[in-house]
Amino acid sequence: MVQLFLKSSNIKQTDWERAYQEIKSIVTAFPTKLIRLESYYGYEKKLDKKHFDLIVEKDTPLEHISFWGDWMSYTGNCTLEFYKDWEKHVELASTGTEIDPNKSVYWFKHIPYKNDGDIPSANGIFSHTVHYLDTEGAHYQSVIIAIGILLENMFPNAAFLTVLWGEEEDYEEVEAVIDWLEHHFKKPFKKPIYFDRKRLLQVLKNEYDNKEALICRFAHLYRKKHKSNMQFAIQHIGYEPTLSFYSKILADTGFGTYGFSDVLDPWINVTQDLEATLELISKSKKWLLRDQTNEYHIKEAENYNLTYILKKLLNNYILWTPVQREELNHFYTNKASLEGKEEGIFESIKTIMGYRVDIAPIYVDEQELFEAFMFHDPKNGHQYRVIIDEWKTENVGRYEKIKEENELLEQRFEEKVEIDYHNSKVDKNNTSNEFVLSFAPHERYFVQKALDANPLFTEAEQAVEAFKSRVVRVTKDNSHQNYRNEVRNLSKEVNINYIKSRIREIGYSVHPDFEVWLASIESEEILFYLHFAMALKLYDKNDHFSRFCFLWNRDFWENWKS
């Protein structure tokens, strides 16, 4: 999900016209070939048509670039528009406002952070009619990133590109996009500031009165990336303001909940310090108790129970010795995430399925553990001693047992990965490899990514022939005899109306001349098969792509294989 903010007061019409021409150059030259939609199914009675011509209302005051997805990957989402006239773009293709002309586009007024899914904002209009571009699964995201990088380089401090909930692959994609831009325009491009936190920090340092507000801004921009945010804030802004800020977020989550762990676990992994962990919890509780008239917060503070934290740390083997920790490579552990990487979904799944052992990144001996908890909550000393002793008794020989279990699980997991890898390679035949290699090196990343999403692209003709054969088999099936007879007796007009209504129903976009092709059909046989081709219920993306290709090219209608 991508956001692109523009500070309208810093952009002039003459400069925007130059930007418009370069955006046009990007969208027309991009290797996976962008597609424009004429209308949207469900909103218009007419058919939704795809166009390779991305310029709408050319040579008029309303001229604009419009694209929805790309041809090669067979993916798309919302339509993005860029008007040639800057005022028209602001009026017709964007939303939001510029809050303060004296502030940079990266700034936004201070809003307390909630550990939820709120969308971040910036000091500028958003270059789309909704607050973010939902590009999930749509490979034209690379093009939007390219446009964002272009605008950031053309309008320093007036354009700001963000990628919501960005993962490692987004950083890889940005590098590939910059490489493509530099080859295309024959000039260097700076990395977008969102992907260069140190540079962003230098810009934002003078925008906020206190360090906590600055940390909060980063938390808003990099949503739910607590671990990397904590690491960055402690290293570049300071430990104390980071501790204070995250103690307030922890207080907002509810002790012992999943949301609580979402904040506490990254803190443990980043600080790798028992005292820092207990200090965060203590400060969080004090924050709740700051107002003795707030009954809800006082009740929440009563839930704070350090025995829960002690059990959590023990169950993550905080008492395992350094010698045992040296042998962590025997297991699937959370070692990689403890070394600074974000926790990926597949890593979490390994833990849930028992394929991984999570190790606390803190080692203390038994006495140090007991004394630390006693310091923060001395009245529960007896409970702490009982919990530690019980854990030790229950876990006698646990290390060797886990080692043995996980060596077996590791072998099974590796075998499964090898099988999955082999299966994933089966479809990547020589045809697709040769196709990718036919593009320039700086284009291949995007082509391969598109083919990964739509492997049938290089085998479209074979896929269509297989689809047509399937249609023929359906028409010959005895169970469809009555329906087949009914279709044979339909008039051309009724048949065409059914085909068009079915296309709208299933949400297909067609060739611009599709309706002309339909009207010109003289063969009853072709209409008969077209009717069944649209009546089929399909549940697989490859089948849908085959039918789409079939509708896009009328040459496929002429000869049917029986």
Express each pLDDT in 51-105 by its tens digit: 999 999 999 999 999 999 999 999 998 889 999 999 999 999 998 889 999 999 9
Burial of 448 (0-12, 13-18, 19+ CB in 10 A): middle
Give pLDDT, residue 427: 46
Task: Say how far apart CA 463 and CA 456 lie, in whole Å.
Answer: 7
Phi, psi of 68 (to 5 degrees): -125, -30
Q: Which of 32, 172, 6, 179 has the alpha carbon at shortest distance from 90? A: 6
Provide the pairing of β-strand 75-83 with 64-70. antiparallel
- Written as one letter, the residue type at 229 is N
- DSSP of 331-388: S-BSHHHHTT----HHHHHHHHTTS-B---S----HHHHHHHHHHH-GGGHHHHHHHH
Give pLDDT, residue 424: 47
> DSSP letter at 238?
-
Q: Which of 38, 72, 29, 70 has the alpha carbon at shortest distance from 57? A: 38
Task: Say how far apart CA 553 and CA 460 lie, in whole Å.
Answer: 11
75: which strand partners?
70
| Token digits of residue 241 | 């303001």
CB 154 within 8 A of CB 189: no
CB 235 within 8 A of CB 226: no
Per residue in 395-404, pLDDT tens?
Answer: 888 888 877 7
What does the CA dihedral 303, 307, 309, 315 come to, rounded to 10 degrees? -140
> DSSP letter at 30?
-
Q: How many CB atoms lie within 10 A of CB 322?
A: 7
| Token digits of residue 506 | 């299933």
Task: Say how far apart CA 142 and CA 3 lie, in whole Å.
Answer: 13
Q: Which of 512, 405, 480 has the alpha carbon at shortest distance from 37? A: 512
Q: How many CB atoms lie within 10 A of CB 451?
A: 21
The residue ranges of every structural domain in the chain are: 2-200, 225-299, 455-557
| Token digits of residue 189 | 């491009």
Q: Which of 381, 386, 330 has the alpha carbon at shortest distance from 359? A: 330
Q: Which of 295, 294, 271, 296 has the alpha carbon at shortest distance from 281? A: 271
Mean pLDDT by groups of 10 residues along the chain of 562 residues: 91 95 97 89 73 95 95 92 95 90 94 84 84 81 96 94 72 94 97 94 92 96 90 97 97 91 93 96 96 93 95 92 73 65 56 66 93 94 96 87 74 62 49 90 96 93 92 88 90 94 90 93 91 91 92 86 47
Give pLDDT, residue 418: 57
CB-based burial, 84-113: b 16+ in 10 Å, e otherwise: bbbeebbeebbebebeeeebbbbbbebeeb
Give pLDDT, residue 133: 76
Question: What is the SS3 assignment for 53-111?
Answer: CCEECCCCCCCEEEEEEECCCCEEEEEEEEECCHHHHHHHCCECCCCCCCCCCCCCCCC
- Written as one letter, the residue type at 414 is E
